[in-house]
Structure 1
Amino acid sequence: MIRQILQRTTTFVSKHNWVTLLVMLVLTGLVVAGIPQLDFGNQVGGSADEFDNLDRVETSQYIDEHYGNDTAKQTERVIEPVYVERKNGTALSKESLLTGLRYQQEITDSEAVRTALHDDGVVGIENLVATRAAGTQNATVDEQIRAIENTSAAGVEQLVGQTIAEDPIAQRFLPTDHDSSASSTDRRIFVAIDTSVDDETLDTVDTTLYDTANKYSDSGFFVATDDAFGEMRSQFNSEMLELVVPVALLLILSILVFTYRDIVDVTVGMSGVVLSILWMLGIMGWLGVQASTITVVPVVLITGLSIDFGFHVFNRYREERGPDDGIRSPMERGIRFVSTALILVTVTASIGFLANLANPLPVIQDLGVSITLGVISALAIFVTIVPALKISIDGLLEWIGLDRRKAVLGRGSYLRPALELSVSLARRAAPVVLVVSVLIAGAGGLAWTELSQESFQQGNGDVAEWKQQLPDPVAWEPVEFRQQLLRTEEVYQPANADDAAQSTILVDGNVTADSTLEDIDRGVADIEEEGLLVTQSSGQAEQSPTTAMARIAKENETFATVLSQADTNGNGVPDQNLEAVYDAFYAADSQTAAQVIERTDGEYRTVLVTLALDAEHSDRKAVVSQLDDGAATMQGNSQRTATAAGSFGVGSAILDEIVGGIFLTMIIALLAIIVTLVAVFRYMHGSATLGAVTALPITLVVGLVVGGMYLLEIPLTLLTALLMSLVVGLGVDYNIHIGDRFADELAAGKKPLAALRVAVTGTGGALLGSTLTTVGAFGSIWLVPHPQMQSFGGIVVIALLTAFIVSLVVLPSALLLWSRHATVPETSSQVTLDPAPQD
């Protein structure tokens, strides 16, 4: 039935090429009309609610439910820091402080800034020094400027020293490790913005801060506003378009021209690639499959797969066309023969990609569906439009007298001997090849547990010197803002405790036991000893029952008495009669008490500790480990449980779940593909074991890719873990082409060794061209000075190279051993043309 459908389709396309083109052109218009309907609402991160089976996520949801409605936690103020970095000189000199005051003067001339300015205003160490010089804390900015101007440089230096020594607030504007000296290469100014104003005003404020900082950039001023990030992204995207895309296209076209040696085939093939991508995006739009910021992944993968399809279509057509053949019959035979492999690739690759539906993250599920649609689109294009277009153009060119017969890639005097080496190796040492390959891939697979895990890879803005020295226009420039941003993260604490990364620890169980609050206090102290808490910012770094009680005790004498009586050792932490203390706390200030202690139906069930962290999400694993150690101390004698939630804890749990989901996805995909190939080969070629032999080397590809990641120090992130799940879909492609061609040649009456030689030389050339093209394109990504992009390109290159090596080195040995020990299917009268060697 399937063979009949294929034969009718290929016959129609080859005989009615113009009708095919017209019908497919209309259908393309209808499909592409779905592109404007694409929904880009889904993003990479997803939602924590999608992982509500995880303890940390469940704890976070519990906190939101029982503590999240506290309006007192909400703030309408945000601090926008303005940074000053003086690589040569000091940021505390008279000149630099004057520049800071003039910067303040200029931004407050803006009506939008004045409208949005919070009561806390604009303040920096220059204001503290200038008001000392002016002799009054109420001096205006103009008066402060005049006071500094009228003070000598030595006098300003003396005032700076006094300010740092006597005013604790001064340290908030200086690096964390700054000592008491009157010099520093860095400082910052705080601009307090009232976020309750309209969005247009806030956007204008952002732009004003950014533009004014650029005006003073020679003095080391910069900001990290949305405008600054937008400019950095714009620069990155611009360089990607101007540097990487041209290089990738040049490599693709150069390799295609070299391998095809025919500009018409290159043009027709690339047309098929573009149409495949458009079809994928259009179908996504019509079906409502959400796109995301990583939709570039299916676009790139389908580009590579489409190029591969094109190589096999054109190469098999060239192989089938003899000296006396026209165009239509060879194309019909070629498409009929190769379409079996293309359909198998489509089915098995789709299974591999759709296995991502087992992943808990919707964006990965959508990505698996997107790539599957792309593979199906490529199949439809390359068995209809591409051959029809090829027949039409070749027919016109031959009509005007141009011979369109071209050499078969893989049958030339240079490439054919190289490809036949794998057949010779299989004939002489097939068992050794298999044993060695299994050992190498197994060793690579064991490296899975050794791969480092990161939520994302953050670039530092540095560009290797050799990349900067590349000739224009492919030279890269260092991203100064990225370097500045990383420096601020290294040398400063968050400007405001409320703006810092927040971590919550929920203590559940017997929270009225006498040791509860002291255990919690010791746990917070352990975390603080690790240097995780902010110490220089405004606001409290810790909000817990202890800190909240101490604050209320200062305002309520009755509660202060209860608190004192419950503290037997005088350390300020109640250690007896906690239920009575909680009752008094709720009586004194129920709103504050509810922020840190849960009381339901008169029963005290949980307490909450909220910590403002001086930590980066790139260090998430280490931070969560330290938080867990503190939480373990809070549990005390195990009457209670303490769970670290917040963005760090939840993010770590989700990443672990995603990585585990990717592993499960690969297992499901491998099993499904093996079962599918076994069934299809049994139906199409009469041998289930041949299908198993063709499929099993995919496991080697997975192991080799993991080993390559380990050797190249590519970590498991959301993106790389996703790509790992797609390796299965990529790895099966090359094996199917070799295995299916081998089965066809056996059916045509050839002996196993001869059949293997034809399969390797006939198909191997197309595989080589496809590999070179896609590896060249992805290899160009290594030009991008960003580790995340380099990891992306690296994994795909490793997957393609290992899949190619396995299909041409390992699979021939496995097929030859199979032919020696299995029952070879009966031959048919089918005869396949084996043209003489050509260049």
Structure 2
Amino acid sequence: MNPAARYARFVTDHSKLIIAVLLVATLVVGSAAGNVDSELSIASFSSDSTEAETYETLQQNFTTEGENTTVVQVVTRGENVLSKESLLETLRFQRAVADDPEVTTTLRTNRSMIGLSNVVATTAIRQSERESGPGNGTDEQPERSGSRSETPSIDAQISHLESMPERKVEATVERVLDPDSENRGPVEPYSLLTTDYEPGSTTATGRVLYVFQDTSNAAGDDLPQEVVDAQLELKDLSARIITSESFVFGAGIVDEESTQATGESFAIISPVALLLILAVLGIAYRDVFDVALGLLGVALVLAWMAGFMGWAGIGVTQILIAVPFLLIGLSIDYALHVVMRYREAHFDDPDATPREAMRRGLAGVVVAIGAATFTTSVGFLSNAVSPLESIREFGIVSAVGIVAAFLVFGLLLPALKIELDGLLGRIGYTHRASAFGRAGAAGNALSVGTDVARRAPYVVIAIAVVLSVAGGAAATDIETSVDQTDFLPRDSPAWMDSLPKSFQPSEYELRENAEYINAKFAQPSDRSRAEFLIEGPVTESDALERIAAGKGHLANTSSAVTLADGSLEVTGPLETINSVAATNETVAAMVTEADTDDDGVPDENLTAIYDAVYGAAPEKAAATIHRQDGAYRSLRLSVGLSGGADTGTVTEEMRDVATTIEGETELTVTATGRPIIEEIVQQGLLTTLVDGFLITFGVITAFLTLIFWLRYRTLSLGAVVLTPVLFAQAWLFGTMYLAGIAFTPETAIIAAIGIGIGVDYAIHIGERFLEEYTDKPDTISALRRTVRGTGGALLASAVTTAAGFGVLVLALVPSLQRFGFVTSVAIGYAFLASILVLPSLLVVWIRITGSDDGSIALS
């Protein structure tokens, strides 16, 4: 008796024990499901790299004003957002914020709100004070944004602006935005306007108000709930008070609305998916008890998955919510194969008892299911080598779920089926449906691949190869992306408005708002900044000169953002020194004396200058000059980037700037920042794809070769079975290229899904073919019986799995839409390759190996 037969006998002889053990095990594993963090988050993509480590060093060694804060952007748009009424609306909004304790308790202490309306109102108040003072102050240089330490209250700003005529407000705006003014205040007005603003103009189409919240109590990367609630309150206040076009954008709003959009998506998707699955299963099974058993098995597999996540401390992300769809599809596949082979055994021997029929059916399919479990789980575990944490978690959770599927459908379902059919038989219910695909239209359709293989197998293979070469070539031109806006929900399509009210989704403008902000404003977010860590002899005479040279290089890059007045948004030691020198005569004198070539950059006695700056303004100094144990260790240079800048371009240009700063000195300069780290992550996507493919392909080839050698004494069949899987992958890449779909974190894992599911299908066909061929060495008849038997289960499985993923295109989140489309296409191609191409490959393999005399023997 071979191992498969012994396994089947064990399961059928100990069905009650197996049921008891697995149900108890399910309770134990599933008991941790409640520990899963169900607060859906946008998947985080981080990797280990020199740049990432440098970025962490910058965060630790330099203290910046934005530390432990999150910024909310209140954007106002219109024909002229610099009008008196528009400015007043923003001030009234700020007053409402100040009067709202739910918001004010979350604001940082110092300068919690910064907007152009404040700059204009403060400038007007101080100008009025000078005009009413001694001498009227008419000879003074107008202040650009106000330099006095005491800022007028919001009420005072509103009252003064309300009392001013429109023409005087316009004159004040002109003074504030005068490009020739050199009196810089604590706020750069141009940073509060869109980058396309014309300097000197008294009209603008967009401006932003920054609201800063304290996040010192945050646990990890998650915002405190009170901060999130305050951001939602800010959104409500804006809608009530600001009558012109405006929106509020913040991390808490993004997380809240993304979670809501995903939930609303699944409220629509789940009923559709359930109806599709029930319809397909009803057609395939034609038996309510088998459908119920299959659904019960699916529920148990999902319980194992959720329990494992709870025990492992893995939370839910937008990538991980695709795993249940995968496991549902694979579970249905396993269930169909077990039940259909059971039915075939009953059909071949109508007098067999349920236990005997299951023993024969399970023995015929368990090797294929076991091999599919191993190869599919390896396909997903290959993602464990990914440098991206979210993809690693996806691979591990999927692999555990796949193993759970085998335990449920390779052990529990057969045992339950035996006991259930035995019970039904004892009460007189003996309905026995035939195996799906053995006859009728489905059987005829499944036989197409066999019919073509009989007539022209080489033509089929040639067509498949040509399409695969084209797809493989196209894959080299597919772009990679980890753009976070890809994870933001879009507004629902118009047809969803006709759904019942309880299913109608909300309106979402997150993606459009994010794109507008990135395109129009210099962002305060670290995602729109490049950072340079300058280490080594930073007190040498040429250290600051090299930084100045680097700034000159920055001005010639395409990715560094240029404000409306033509300046760069740069923060560095030179800016810190000049800022302190502007208010401290001692520092100013030292800087002038140390500038021996009169280029505005100190080139000697830097240690003394750093000491003086620290003594005059330690907080400012700590933001760009790192001092440890009395010695100066490093400097920090930060530059604002265009929101739409390509991360590859940013990385290349900033690394060139770092090289410029280093020059011929002993300085070590590392370019880093979120955009550069994201580019490294993008390259990690390709690493995930290539490494995952090579690992999966190598392990699966070796495993199949071993299995087929042990059972049929053939070393080449494993490669033959894998060939259509490779074809399907190439077709998939070609389709992605034609559809303009980039390699993103969620599509990068499609390679593992395609290989895993494709191998599952191919193994079932290959294993069943050899089993049929050893009984009757006639290639075509063995193929026909294979595709009409096993192919029927594959068809039902492919349709349900593809439908389960396919309904994701109805989601409001673009990343889920892409994932659903690409995965359903991958499953469709895997099925077609197994049913249409593999029969021709098997025919040619039989001819080439000379096995058409029936020399293959089951061992």
User: Where on the TM-score scale, by shorter chain, does this alignment land: which range?
Assistant: 0.7 to 0.9
Match for 2:30: what amino acid?
Answer: V
The partner residue of 2:468 within 438, 441, 461 is 441
After TM superposition, give the deviation of residue 679 of structure 1 in Å.
0.6
After TM superposition, give the deviation of residue 700 of structure 1 in Å.
2.1
1:26–1:677 Cα change, 3 Å: same
Match of 2:398 in 1: 371
Matched-pair contact (CA < 8 Å) for 1:313–1:334? yes
Match of 1:109 in 2: 99
The partner residue of 1:573 within 601, 609, 627 is 601
- Deviations, residues 789-817 of structure 1 (Å, cap 9, x unaligned): 12211221122111111111221111111
Match for 2:599: what amino acid?
Answer: N
- Deviations, residues 500-527 of structure 1 (Å, cap 9, x unaligned): 7432224567878887644532332332
Tell me which moved more, 105-114 or 697-706: 105-114
After TM superposition, give the deviation of residue 634 of structure 1 in Å.
3.0
Match of 2:846 in 1: 819
Match of 1:682 in 2: 709
Match of 1:484 in 2: 513
Matched-pair contact (CA < 8 Å) for 1:345–1:736? yes
The partner residue of 1:784 within 811, 830, 848 is 811
2:611 matched to 1:582?
no
Matched-pair contact (CA < 8 Å) for 1:80–1:190? yes
How do residues 109-508 of structure 1 correspond to structure 2 at under 5 angstroms? 109-111=99-101, 116=107, 118-120=109-111, 122=113, 124-127=115-118, 136=128, 141-142=154-155, 144-146=157-159, 164-165=177-178, 170-179=189-198, 180-191=200-211, 193=213, 205-206=230-231, 208-216=233-241, 218-225=243-250, 228-286=253-311, 288=312, 290-293=314-317, 294-322=319-347, 323-456=350-483, 458-459=485-486, 462-463=490-491, 465=493, 467-468=495-496, 471-472=499-500, 478-494=507-523, 501-507=528-534
* Partners of 1:508 and 1:227 in 2: CA distance: 36
Secondary structure in 1 aligned to 2:784? helix
How do residues 661-672 of structure 1 correspond to structure 2 at under 5 angstroms? 661-672=688-699
Matched-pair contact (CA < 8 Å) for 1:670–1:698? no
1:761–1:77 Cα change, 3 Å: closer
* Partners of 2:306 and 2:527 in 1: CA distance: 40
Secondary structure in 2 aligned to 1:383? helix
Match for 2:51: what amino acid?
Answer: R
Tell me which moved more, 124-133 or 735-744: 124-133
1:184–1:360 Cα change, 3 Å: closer
Secondary structure in 2 aligned to 1:451? coil
How do residues 24-63 of structure 1 correspond to structure 2 at under 5 angstroms? 24-36=22-34, 51=48, 54-57=49-52, 59-60=54-55, 63=57
Matched-pair contact (CA < 8 Å) for 1:451–1:714? yes
Tell me which moved more, 748-757 or 392-401: 392-401
The partner residue of 1:21 within 19, 22, 27 is 19
Match for 2:457: what amino acid?
Answer: A
1:346–1:131 Cα change, 3 Å: closer
* Partners of 2:228 and 2:494 in 1: CA distance: 39
Matched-pair contact (CA < 8 Å) for 2:526–2:673? no
- Deviations, residues 533-555 of structure 1 (Å, cap 9, x unaligned): 46489x99433444344446557
After TM superposition, give the deviation of residue 141 of structure 1 in Å.
4.2
The partner residue of 2:61 within 66, 69, 84 is 69
The partner residue of 1:85 within 68, 77, 81 is 77
* Partners of 1:776 and 1:197 in 2: CA distance: 44
Match for 1:81: what amino acid?
Answer: Q
Secondary structure in 1 aligned to 2:531? strand
After TM superposition, give the deviation of residue 760 of structure 1 in Å.
1.6
The partner residue of 1:532 within 553, 557, 560 is 560
Match of 2:648 in 1: 621
Match of 1:630 in 2: 657
Match of 2:89 in 1: 99
* Partners of 1:612 and 1:355 in 2: CA distance: 38
After TM superposition, give the deviation of residue 712 of structure 1 in Å.
1.8
- Deviations, residues 97-133 of structure 1 (Å, cap 9, x unaligned): 4433332332222346556463436454444555677
Match of 2:143 in 1: none
* Partners of 1:614 and 1:253 in 2: CA distance: 51
Tell me which moved more, 424-433 or 18-27: 18-27
Match for 1:238: what amino acid?
Answer: G
After TM superposition, give the deviation of residue 346 of structure 1 in Å.
1.1
- Deviations, residues 244-288 of structure 1 (Å, cap 9, x unaligned): 2222222222222233333332222121111122123334545x3
User: Where does structure 2 lack aligned partners over 5 or more consecutive residues?
Assistant: 130-150, 219-223
After TM superposition, give the deviation of residue 677 of structure 1 in Å.
0.4
- Deviations, residues 471-507 of structure 1 (Å, cap 9, x unaligned): 446665541344334323332223x5x8674322245
Match for 1:56: what amino acid?
Answer: E
Match for 2:282: what amino acid?
Answer: V
1:602–1:528 Cα change, 3 Å: same
Match for 1:21: what amino acid?
Answer: I
1:571–1:721 Cα change, 3 Å: same
Match of 1:713 in 2: 740
* Partners of 1:192 and 1:415 in 2: CA distance: 63
- Deviations, residues 595-647 of structure 1 (Å, cap 9, x unaligned): 7678999999x864422313348842232233234334334469766431122
* Partners of 2:41 and 2:684 in 1: CA distance: 18
1:665–1:568 Cα change, 3 Å: same
Matched-pair contact (CA < 8 Å) for 1:545–1:609? yes
1:164–1:519 Cα change, 3 Å: closer
Match for 2:751: what amino acid?
Answer: M
Match of 1:7 in 2: 5
Secondary structure in 1 aligned to 2:743? coil
Tell me which moved more, 595-604 or 108-117: 595-604
Q: TM-score, normalised by structure 2?
A: 0.83
1:40–1:429 Cα change, 3 Å: same
Tell me which moved more, 19-28 or 780-789: 19-28
* Partners of 1:573 and 1:552 in 2: CA distance: 14
Match of 1:694 in 2: 721
* Partners of 2:638 and 2:858 in 1: CA distance: 78
Matched-pair contact (CA < 8 Å) for 2:528–2:642? yes
After TM superposition, give the deviation of residue 756 of structure 1 in Å.
1.4
User: Where does structure 1 lack aligned partners over 5 or more consecutive residues?
Assistant: 831-839
Over the matched positions of the two proteins, sequence identity in percent amounts to 31
Q: TM-score, normalised by structure 1?
A: 0.85
After TM superposition, give the deviation of residue 343 of structure 1 in Å.
0.9
* Partners of 1:329 and 1:267 in 2: CA distance: 22
2:675 matched to 1:648?
yes
Secondary structure in 2 aligned to 1:188? strand
1:75–1:599 Cα change, 3 Å: closer
- Deviations, residues 313-358 of structure 1 (Å, cap 9, x unaligned): 1222222222554433222211111111101111222222233333
Matched-pair contact (CA < 8 Å) for 1:458–1:787? no
Q: How many equivalent residue pairs?
A: 811
Tell me which moved more, 263-272 or 107-116: 107-116
Matched-pair contact (CA < 8 Å) for 1:735–1:811? yes
* Partners of 1:797 and 1:562 in 2: CA distance: 69
